[in-house]
Amino acid sequence: MSDNNLPRIAFVNQYPTVFNKIKSPYKSETDITQWNDTVTLNKAGGNRGNLVWMESVYRIFKYDLNNSCAISINRLVRDYKTIDENFDFVIINMACWITNVSERLHLLPPNYFSELKFKKCKVICLGNGGIRKTYIKSNPNLSKDNFCTAIIELLHWMADNADILSVRGEETKKTLKEVFNIDSIALGCPSLYSFPNSIDNISLPPVEDSILASGGNLVKRSYYKYFKSFNVFKSVNYFCQSHYEFESPSNIEFPRQVKPSDLVDIKINEADGSVLNYPFEIDGIDKMYAPNNVDTWRGVLSMHDYYIGSRLHGALLALQAGIFPAVFSNDERLLEVARLVGMPHLNPDVESFDIKNLFTEDSLKNFKKKYRMRHNLFCEALTSVGLVL
Protein backbone atom coordinates (compact mmCIF):
# COMPACT_ATOMS: atom_id res chain seq x y z
CA MET A 1 0.00 0.00 0.00
CA SER A 2 1.09 3.61 -0.56
CA ASP A 3 1.73 6.18 2.17
CA ASN A 4 -1.87 7.37 2.31
CA ASN A 5 -3.07 3.79 2.90
CA LEU A 6 -5.12 3.71 -0.28
CA PRO A 7 -4.25 1.18 -2.98
CA ARG A 8 -2.39 2.04 -6.15
CA ILE A 9 -4.56 0.87 -9.02
CA ALA A 10 -3.80 0.41 -12.71
CA PHE A 11 -7.19 0.68 -14.43
CA VAL A 12 -7.14 -1.24 -17.70
CA ASN A 13 -9.65 0.06 -20.21
CA GLN A 14 -10.24 -0.08 -23.92
CA TYR A 15 -10.36 3.71 -23.84
CA PRO A 16 -7.61 4.70 -21.39
CA THR A 17 -8.02 8.48 -21.85
CA VAL A 18 -10.86 8.25 -19.35
CA PHE A 19 -9.35 8.97 -15.97
CA ASN A 20 -11.25 11.56 -13.98
CA LYS A 21 -13.21 10.84 -10.82
CA ILE A 22 -14.96 14.18 -10.81
CA LYS A 23 -16.41 14.70 -14.28
CA SER A 24 -16.61 13.24 -17.74
CA PRO A 25 -13.54 14.12 -19.83
CA TYR A 26 -15.55 14.50 -23.02
CA LYS A 27 -16.44 17.90 -24.43
CA SER A 28 -20.06 18.22 -25.53
CA GLU A 29 -20.56 18.24 -29.26
CA THR A 30 -21.73 21.57 -30.59
CA ASP A 31 -21.91 21.26 -34.36
CA ILE A 32 -21.91 18.77 -37.21
CA THR A 33 -18.09 18.70 -37.49
CA GLN A 34 -17.88 17.35 -33.94
CA TRP A 35 -20.73 14.88 -33.79
CA ASN A 36 -19.77 13.46 -37.17
CA ASP A 37 -16.08 13.11 -36.22
CA THR A 38 -15.15 9.41 -36.21
CA VAL A 39 -12.01 10.04 -34.14
CA THR A 40 -14.08 11.64 -31.37
CA LEU A 41 -16.61 8.81 -31.51
CA ASN A 42 -13.97 6.11 -31.34
CA LYS A 43 -12.32 7.72 -28.33
CA ALA A 44 -15.71 7.72 -26.63
CA GLY A 45 -16.30 4.04 -27.34
CA GLY A 46 -18.63 4.46 -30.27
CA ASN A 47 -21.72 5.46 -28.33
CA ARG A 48 -22.63 7.52 -25.31
CA GLY A 49 -23.50 4.52 -23.17
CA ASN A 50 -19.87 3.49 -23.08
CA LEU A 51 -19.03 6.73 -21.31
CA VAL A 52 -21.12 5.47 -18.38
CA TRP A 53 -19.39 2.11 -18.35
CA MET A 54 -15.91 3.63 -18.56
CA GLU A 55 -16.31 6.12 -15.74
CA SER A 56 -17.88 3.69 -13.25
CA VAL A 57 -14.73 2.12 -11.79
CA TYR A 58 -13.19 5.50 -11.09
CA ARG A 59 -16.21 6.48 -9.03
CA ILE A 60 -16.66 3.19 -7.15
CA PHE A 61 -13.18 2.74 -5.70
CA LYS A 62 -11.01 4.85 -3.44
CA TYR A 63 -7.39 4.85 -4.52
CA ASP A 64 -4.10 6.71 -4.34
CA LEU A 65 -4.81 9.31 -7.00
CA ASN A 66 -1.17 10.35 -7.45
CA ASN A 67 0.10 6.82 -7.92
CA SER A 68 -2.75 5.27 -9.90
CA CYS A 69 -3.39 5.54 -13.62
CA ALA A 70 -5.43 4.35 -16.56
CA ILE A 71 -3.61 2.16 -19.06
CA SER A 72 -4.37 0.45 -22.33
CA ILE A 73 -4.50 -3.31 -22.77
CA ASN A 74 -1.39 -3.04 -24.94
CA ARG A 75 0.51 -1.32 -22.15
CA LEU A 76 -0.62 -3.95 -19.66
CA VAL A 77 0.87 -6.66 -21.84
CA ARG A 78 4.00 -4.72 -22.71
CA ASP A 79 4.86 -3.45 -19.21
CA TYR A 80 3.32 -6.03 -16.93
CA LYS A 81 6.50 -6.59 -14.92
CA THR A 82 6.83 -2.88 -14.11
CA ILE A 83 3.12 -2.71 -13.33
CA ASP A 84 3.46 -5.68 -10.99
CA GLU A 85 6.14 -3.80 -9.05
CA ASN A 86 4.40 -0.43 -8.85
CA PHE A 87 0.70 -1.17 -8.29
CA ASP A 88 -1.36 -3.05 -5.75
CA PHE A 89 -4.23 -3.88 -8.13
CA VAL A 90 -4.89 -4.21 -11.81
CA ILE A 91 -8.60 -3.67 -12.51
CA ILE A 92 -9.68 -4.87 -15.94
CA ASN A 93 -13.12 -3.44 -16.71
CA MET A 94 -14.58 -5.19 -19.74
CA ALA A 95 -18.04 -5.34 -21.29
CA CYS A 96 -19.32 -7.21 -24.35
CA TRP A 97 -16.30 -9.11 -25.54
CA ILE A 98 -17.20 -12.81 -25.10
CA THR A 99 -18.32 -13.35 -28.66
CA ASN A 100 -18.56 -16.03 -31.30
CA VAL A 101 -18.19 -13.42 -34.03
CA SER A 102 -14.43 -13.42 -34.41
CA GLU A 103 -14.23 -10.31 -36.59
CA ARG A 104 -15.67 -8.26 -33.73
CA LEU A 105 -12.80 -9.18 -31.45
CA HIS A 106 -10.34 -6.32 -31.94
CA LEU A 107 -8.66 -6.54 -28.54
CA LEU A 108 -6.03 -9.21 -28.87
CA PRO A 109 -4.44 -11.93 -30.97
CA PRO A 110 -3.94 -15.49 -29.65
CA ASN A 111 -1.43 -15.87 -26.80
CA TYR A 112 -1.60 -12.14 -26.05
CA PHE A 113 -1.96 -12.65 -22.31
CA SER A 114 -0.19 -15.96 -21.91
CA GLU A 115 3.05 -14.49 -20.51
CA LEU A 116 1.40 -12.25 -17.92
CA LYS A 117 2.11 -13.64 -14.46
CA PHE A 118 1.56 -11.16 -11.66
CA LYS A 119 3.38 -11.99 -8.41
CA LYS A 120 2.58 -8.98 -6.21
CA CYS A 121 -0.28 -7.18 -7.90
CA LYS A 122 -3.82 -8.54 -7.56
CA VAL A 123 -5.90 -8.83 -10.73
CA ILE A 124 -9.62 -7.95 -10.66
CA CYS A 125 -11.77 -8.62 -13.74
CA LEU A 126 -15.13 -6.83 -13.80
CA GLY A 127 -18.15 -6.54 -16.07
CA ASN A 128 -17.46 -9.46 -18.40
CA GLY A 129 -20.37 -10.42 -20.60
CA GLY A 130 -21.35 -11.86 -23.93
CA ILE A 131 -22.61 -10.60 -27.23
CA ARG A 132 -25.99 -11.78 -28.53
CA LYS A 133 -26.33 -15.55 -29.04
CA THR A 134 -23.34 -16.35 -26.84
CA TYR A 135 -25.43 -17.47 -23.88
CA ILE A 136 -26.16 -21.11 -23.17
CA LYS A 137 -29.71 -20.14 -22.21
CA SER A 138 -30.63 -18.94 -25.69
CA ASN A 139 -28.20 -21.18 -27.57
CA PRO A 140 -28.13 -24.60 -25.86
CA ASN A 141 -25.90 -26.03 -28.58
CA LEU A 142 -23.14 -23.54 -27.84
CA SER A 143 -19.65 -25.07 -27.57
CA LYS A 144 -15.99 -24.05 -27.54
CA ASP A 145 -15.96 -24.54 -31.30
CA ASN A 146 -18.11 -21.41 -31.61
CA PHE A 147 -15.37 -19.20 -30.14
CA CYS A 148 -12.03 -18.10 -31.54
CA THR A 149 -8.77 -19.03 -29.83
CA ALA A 150 -8.16 -15.53 -28.48
CA ILE A 151 -11.50 -15.50 -26.61
CA ILE A 152 -10.88 -18.89 -25.04
CA GLU A 153 -7.30 -18.09 -24.03
CA LEU A 154 -8.24 -14.79 -22.39
CA LEU A 155 -11.07 -16.42 -20.44
CA HIS A 156 -8.74 -19.11 -19.16
CA TRP A 157 -6.06 -16.53 -18.35
CA MET A 158 -8.60 -14.66 -16.24
CA ALA A 159 -9.69 -17.86 -14.53
CA ASP A 160 -6.08 -18.78 -13.70
CA ASN A 161 -4.79 -15.33 -12.71
CA ALA A 162 -7.63 -13.15 -11.42
CA ASP A 163 -8.30 -12.82 -7.72
CA ILE A 164 -11.85 -11.99 -8.76
CA LEU A 165 -13.39 -12.99 -12.10
CA SER A 166 -16.81 -11.40 -12.16
CA VAL A 167 -19.48 -11.37 -14.84
CA ARG A 168 -22.54 -9.25 -15.51
CA GLY A 169 -25.19 -11.81 -14.57
CA GLU A 170 -26.23 -15.36 -13.91
CA GLU A 171 -26.61 -16.15 -17.62
CA THR A 172 -22.96 -15.34 -18.34
CA LYS A 173 -21.88 -17.27 -15.25
CA LYS A 174 -23.81 -20.34 -16.41
CA THR A 175 -22.39 -20.08 -19.93
CA LEU A 176 -18.77 -19.89 -18.72
CA LYS A 177 -19.27 -22.91 -16.49
CA GLU A 178 -21.05 -25.14 -19.01
CA VAL A 179 -19.02 -24.23 -22.10
CA PHE A 180 -15.55 -23.56 -20.65
CA ASN A 181 -15.73 -25.12 -17.15
CA ILE A 182 -14.74 -21.73 -15.73
CA ASP A 183 -16.06 -20.55 -12.38
CA SER A 184 -17.00 -16.90 -11.98
CA ILE A 185 -19.07 -14.69 -9.71
CA ALA A 186 -22.07 -12.70 -10.95
CA LEU A 187 -21.54 -9.21 -9.57
CA GLY A 188 -23.24 -7.23 -12.32
CA CYS A 189 -22.11 -4.26 -14.37
CA PRO A 190 -19.97 -1.84 -12.29
CA SER A 191 -22.18 1.01 -13.51
CA LEU A 192 -24.91 -0.38 -11.26
CA TYR A 193 -22.99 0.66 -8.16
CA SER A 194 -21.55 4.08 -9.01
CA PHE A 195 -24.24 5.85 -6.96
CA PRO A 196 -25.65 3.13 -4.69
CA ASN A 197 -27.65 5.49 -2.46
CA SER A 198 -29.60 6.83 -5.43
CA ILE A 199 -32.24 4.15 -4.99
CA ASP A 200 -33.34 5.88 -1.79
CA ASN A 201 -34.63 8.75 -3.94
CA ILE A 202 -36.80 6.58 -6.19
CA SER A 203 -40.50 7.19 -5.75
CA LEU A 204 -43.75 6.57 -7.67
CA PRO A 205 -45.27 9.92 -8.61
CA PRO A 206 -48.59 9.83 -10.52
CA VAL A 207 -47.86 8.87 -14.12
CA GLU A 208 -50.13 11.55 -15.58
CA ASP A 209 -48.05 14.22 -13.80
CA SER A 210 -44.68 12.67 -14.66
CA ILE A 211 -41.94 13.16 -17.22
CA LEU A 212 -40.62 10.01 -18.90
CA ALA A 213 -37.07 9.57 -20.18
CA SER A 214 -36.56 7.02 -22.93
CA GLY A 215 -33.78 5.68 -25.11
CA GLY A 216 -33.50 2.96 -27.73
CA ASN A 217 -32.63 3.01 -31.39
CA LEU A 218 -34.67 5.28 -33.62
CA VAL A 219 -33.63 3.55 -36.84
CA LYS A 220 -35.44 0.40 -35.73
CA ARG A 221 -39.15 0.51 -36.48
CA SER A 222 -39.85 -1.99 -33.69
CA TYR A 223 -39.02 0.72 -31.16
CA TYR A 224 -41.89 2.96 -32.24
CA LYS A 225 -44.62 0.52 -31.19
CA TYR A 226 -43.96 1.37 -27.55
CA PHE A 227 -44.63 5.06 -28.02
CA LYS A 228 -48.40 4.51 -27.91
CA SER A 229 -48.01 3.40 -24.29
CA PHE A 230 -46.01 6.52 -23.43
CA ASN A 231 -48.89 8.92 -24.07
CA VAL A 232 -50.11 8.54 -20.48
CA PHE A 233 -47.15 10.64 -19.29
CA LYS A 234 -47.22 14.41 -19.04
CA SER A 235 -44.26 14.55 -21.44
CA VAL A 236 -41.67 12.21 -22.96
CA ASN A 237 -38.03 13.02 -23.75
CA TYR A 238 -35.62 10.87 -25.74
CA PHE A 239 -31.90 10.45 -24.96
CA CYS A 240 -29.63 9.41 -27.84
CA GLN A 241 -27.22 6.62 -27.01
CA SER A 242 -26.73 4.64 -30.19
CA HIS A 243 -24.92 5.94 -33.21
CA TYR A 244 -26.66 6.40 -36.53
CA GLU A 245 -24.59 5.71 -39.62
CA PHE A 246 -24.56 7.59 -42.87
CA GLU A 247 -21.24 7.37 -44.66
CA SER A 248 -19.57 7.63 -41.25
CA PRO A 249 -20.97 7.32 -37.74
CA SER A 250 -22.86 10.10 -36.03
CA ASN A 251 -24.18 9.62 -32.53
CA ILE A 252 -27.24 11.80 -32.74
CA GLU A 253 -30.08 9.48 -33.70
CA PHE A 254 -32.58 10.07 -36.46
CA PRO A 255 -35.48 8.15 -37.99
CA ARG A 256 -34.66 5.92 -40.91
CA GLN A 257 -35.95 8.30 -43.60
CA VAL A 258 -33.50 11.11 -42.74
CA LYS A 259 -31.05 12.37 -45.35
CA PRO A 260 -27.64 13.89 -44.47
CA SER A 261 -28.64 17.10 -46.25
CA ASP A 262 -31.36 17.67 -43.63
CA LEU A 263 -28.89 17.87 -40.74
CA VAL A 264 -26.74 20.90 -41.50
CA ASP A 265 -28.13 23.24 -38.83
CA ILE A 266 -28.25 20.79 -35.93
CA LYS A 267 -26.32 21.76 -32.81
CA ILE A 268 -26.22 20.57 -29.21
CA ASN A 269 -26.72 22.83 -26.23
CA GLU A 270 -23.60 22.33 -24.11
CA ALA A 271 -25.45 23.28 -20.91
CA ASP A 272 -28.00 20.46 -20.93
CA GLY A 273 -27.22 18.31 -23.97
CA SER A 274 -30.49 19.12 -25.72
CA VAL A 275 -30.49 18.84 -29.51
CA LEU A 276 -31.20 22.20 -31.16
CA ASN A 277 -32.95 22.53 -34.51
CA TYR A 278 -33.84 18.84 -34.62
CA PRO A 279 -35.54 18.73 -38.03
CA PHE A 280 -38.07 15.96 -37.47
CA GLU A 281 -41.13 15.53 -35.31
CA ILE A 282 -41.43 12.08 -33.78
CA ASP A 283 -44.93 11.30 -32.60
CA GLY A 284 -44.82 10.70 -28.84
CA ILE A 285 -41.46 12.42 -28.23
CA ASP A 286 -41.34 16.01 -26.97
CA LYS A 287 -37.62 16.76 -26.73
CA MET A 288 -34.34 15.20 -27.87
CA TYR A 289 -31.13 15.05 -25.84
CA ALA A 290 -27.63 13.95 -26.85
CA PRO A 291 -25.33 14.83 -23.94
CA ASN A 292 -21.70 13.79 -24.16
CA ASN A 293 -20.90 14.86 -20.63
CA VAL A 294 -22.00 12.08 -18.28
CA ASP A 295 -22.61 14.46 -15.38
CA THR A 296 -24.87 16.62 -17.55
CA TRP A 297 -26.72 13.51 -18.71
CA ARG A 298 -27.24 12.33 -15.14
CA GLY A 299 -28.32 15.78 -14.01
CA VAL A 300 -30.95 16.18 -16.73
CA LEU A 301 -32.25 12.67 -16.06
CA SER A 302 -32.72 13.56 -12.39
CA MET A 303 -35.41 16.02 -13.50
CA HIS A 304 -37.44 13.12 -14.92
CA ASP A 305 -39.65 10.70 -13.00
CA TYR A 306 -39.35 7.38 -14.89
CA TYR A 307 -37.20 5.72 -17.54
CA ILE A 308 -38.31 3.12 -20.09
CA GLY A 309 -35.94 2.07 -22.86
CA SER A 310 -33.95 -0.62 -24.60
CA ARG A 311 -30.43 0.60 -23.79
CA LEU A 312 -28.59 -0.77 -20.74
CA HIS A 313 -26.50 2.24 -19.79
CA GLY A 314 -29.37 4.64 -20.34
CA ALA A 315 -31.28 2.65 -17.72
CA LEU A 316 -28.28 2.55 -15.38
CA LEU A 317 -27.79 6.32 -15.69
CA ALA A 318 -31.46 6.77 -14.81
CA LEU A 319 -30.88 4.59 -11.76
CA GLN A 320 -27.83 6.66 -10.83
CA ALA A 321 -30.02 9.78 -11.13
CA GLY A 322 -32.57 8.34 -8.70
CA ILE A 323 -35.44 7.57 -11.08
CA PHE A 324 -37.15 4.20 -11.55
CA PRO A 325 -35.92 2.42 -14.71
CA ALA A 326 -37.60 -0.33 -16.73
CA VAL A 327 -36.24 -1.99 -19.86
CA PHE A 328 -37.46 -3.90 -22.90
CA SER A 329 -35.26 -5.94 -25.19
CA ASN A 330 -34.72 -9.42 -26.56
CA ASP A 331 -30.99 -8.93 -25.96
CA GLU A 332 -29.68 -10.98 -23.04
CA ARG A 333 -26.94 -8.47 -22.33
CA LEU A 334 -29.55 -6.05 -21.11
CA LEU A 335 -31.98 -8.51 -19.58
CA GLU A 336 -29.45 -10.39 -17.46
CA VAL A 337 -28.45 -7.17 -15.70
CA ALA A 338 -32.09 -6.21 -15.20
CA ARG A 339 -32.88 -9.64 -13.76
CA LEU A 340 -29.85 -9.53 -11.48
CA VAL A 341 -31.11 -6.48 -9.58
CA GLY A 342 -34.86 -6.93 -10.05
CA MET A 343 -35.29 -4.07 -12.52
CA PRO A 344 -38.73 -4.22 -14.22
CA HIS A 345 -38.49 -5.53 -17.75
CA LEU A 346 -40.93 -6.08 -20.59
CA ASN A 347 -41.42 -8.81 -23.12
CA PRO A 348 -40.25 -7.20 -26.38
CA ASP A 349 -43.04 -8.95 -28.31
CA VAL A 350 -45.84 -6.99 -26.64
CA GLU A 351 -47.41 -4.26 -28.75
CA SER A 352 -48.49 -2.15 -25.78
CA PHE A 353 -48.58 -2.32 -22.01
CA ASP A 354 -50.11 -0.63 -18.99
CA ILE A 355 -47.58 1.69 -17.36
CA LYS A 356 -49.31 1.40 -14.00
CA ASN A 357 -48.74 -2.37 -14.02
CA LEU A 358 -45.05 -1.86 -14.71
CA PHE A 359 -44.28 0.68 -11.99
CA THR A 360 -45.97 -0.51 -8.80
CA GLU A 361 -45.28 -0.44 -5.09
CA ASP A 362 -44.48 -4.15 -5.26
CA SER A 363 -42.08 -3.80 -8.19
CA LEU A 364 -40.28 -0.92 -6.47
CA LYS A 365 -40.05 -2.80 -3.18
CA ASN A 366 -38.69 -5.90 -4.94
CA PHE A 367 -36.18 -3.84 -6.88
CA LYS A 368 -34.83 -2.01 -3.83
CA LYS A 369 -34.52 -5.25 -1.86
CA LYS A 370 -32.74 -7.13 -4.64
CA TYR A 371 -30.50 -4.18 -5.53
CA ARG A 372 -29.30 -3.81 -1.92
CA MET A 373 -28.57 -7.53 -1.74
CA ARG A 374 -26.52 -7.42 -4.96
CA HIS A 375 -24.71 -4.25 -3.91
CA ASN A 376 -23.76 -5.87 -0.60
CA LEU A 377 -22.39 -8.92 -2.44
CA PHE A 378 -20.40 -6.66 -4.75
CA CYS A 379 -18.89 -4.77 -1.81
CA GLU A 380 -18.13 -7.92 0.18
CA ALA A 381 -16.35 -9.56 -2.75
CA LEU A 382 -14.16 -6.56 -3.56
CA THR A 383 -13.29 -5.51 -0.03
CA SER A 384 -12.35 -9.12 0.77
CA VAL A 385 -9.28 -8.77 -1.47
CA GLY A 386 -8.26 -5.39 -0.06
CA LEU A 387 -9.97 -2.89 -2.35
CA VAL A 388 -11.48 0.22 -0.73
CA LEU A 389 -14.98 1.40 -1.65
User: Across all residues in the chain, what is the average pLDDT?
Assistant: 84
pLDDT tops 80 at residue 264: no
- Report whether pLDDT(43) > 90: no
pLDDT (tens digit per residue) in 250-260? 667 888 777 77
pLDDT recorded at residue 72:
83
What's the sign of the alpha-carbon dihedral 57, 68, 17, 116? negative
How do residues 283-314 score in pLDDT, each as one tens digit?
A: 889 999 988 778 889 999 999 999 999 889 99
Lowest-pLDDT choice from 89-93, 104-108, 205-209, 368-372: 104-108
* pLDDT one-digit tens code per residue, 165-179: 999 999 999 999 999
Tell me what percent of the residues of the chain surpass a pLDDT of 70: 84
Please tell me which residue, 223 or 201, carries the higher pLDDT value. Answer: 201
Per-residue pLDDT band for 22 (boundaries 50, 70, 90) equals very low
pLDDT of residue 122: 98
What pLDDT was estimated at residue 314?
93
Q: Which domains does the chain have, with CATH numbers?
A: 9-194+373-383 (no CATH), 197-363 (3.40.50)
The predicted pLDDT at position 342 comes to 96
